[in-house]
Amino acid sequence: MDHEHNCWQCGSADAGSLFCRYCNSLQAPIPDYYAFFGLPRTLSVDTDELQNRFYSMSRLLHPDRFTRRSEQERRYSLEASSILNDAYRVLRDPIRRAEYVLKEAGYEIGEQRSKDVPPELLEEVFELNMALDELRMGDDGVLPQLDEMRRRFLEMLAAIDAALETKFQRHDTRPDDGGKAEVLEEIKSALHRRRYIRNLVNEVDRQLSSRNA
């Protein structure tokens, strides 16, 4: 985190991004999650390193350490702690991390609408809806079919997650001058498909739970 700015307290230039390197006053926190943690903007993240930085920064930024400091630093401490927790929650999760990078790059993820069926899933979705309708009408004979469909959907999710890991690595090794855009488009499509399949699994689980209640 080596962003240059003037310290609000002593006015020194290039004060540092969290604590002024000259007067050690806490600075306004950076809302960018990667910059806040001092990490490169990559989709593959060393989660052990991320966790270590999180714990270290949690101790440094805890509001209890600033009870006798200026009002501005107390406010910055609360803001920084909030950003820290949000950033850690997002960056440690590969799916949330990818969604964050896409959003920051100008890609709109949006909500997954039930009518936006991926073409390759049309047959499975039709069969699933038929089976769920039969279950709602009291036909327990479709339970084995639903269990099998749920298993297939989970396998699809596992395959998408494995493919995403490969796409993350491709993204991180591409040059910034437009080379990453193509991979980000692929990741966006994969995330949409993943979210749709995840919703199908959740719907099956809800119906089975209500049936067993």
**Mean pLDDT on 108-132:** 81
DSSP string, 84-137: HHHHHHHHTSHHHHHHHHHHHTT-------TT---GGGHHHHHHHHHHHHHHHT
**Between these two residues, 109 and 81, which has the higher pLDDT value?**
81
Tokens 């498909």 correspond to 193
- The answer on pLDDT for 1 being more than 50 is no
Q: 33-66: buried (b, 16+ CB within 10 Å) or exposed (e) per residue?
A: bbbbbebebebebeeeebeebbeebeeebeeeeb
Give the integer Cα–Cα distance in Å for 135 and 147.
12
pLDDT at 64 over 90: yes
Higher pLDDT, 210 or 38: 38
Question: What is the per-residue pLDDT across 74-92, written as a single tens digit (0 to 9) for each?
Answer: 999 999 999 999 999 999 9
- Distance CA(37)–CA(26), nearest Å, equals 15
Contacts of 142 (CB under 8 A, 6+ apart): 131, 134, 135
53 residue type, one letter: R
Contacting residues for 40 by C-beta, under 8 A, at least 6 apart: 34
Least confident of 50-54, 138-142, 176-180: 176-180
- For the cut 70, the answer to whether the pLDDT of residue 35 exceeds it is yes
Q: What is the mean pLDDT of residues 15-39?
A: 89
The arithmetic mean of pLDDT across residues 154-160, rounded, is 97
Average pLDDT over residues 38-62: 95
Q: Is the pLDDT of residue 37 over 70?
A: yes
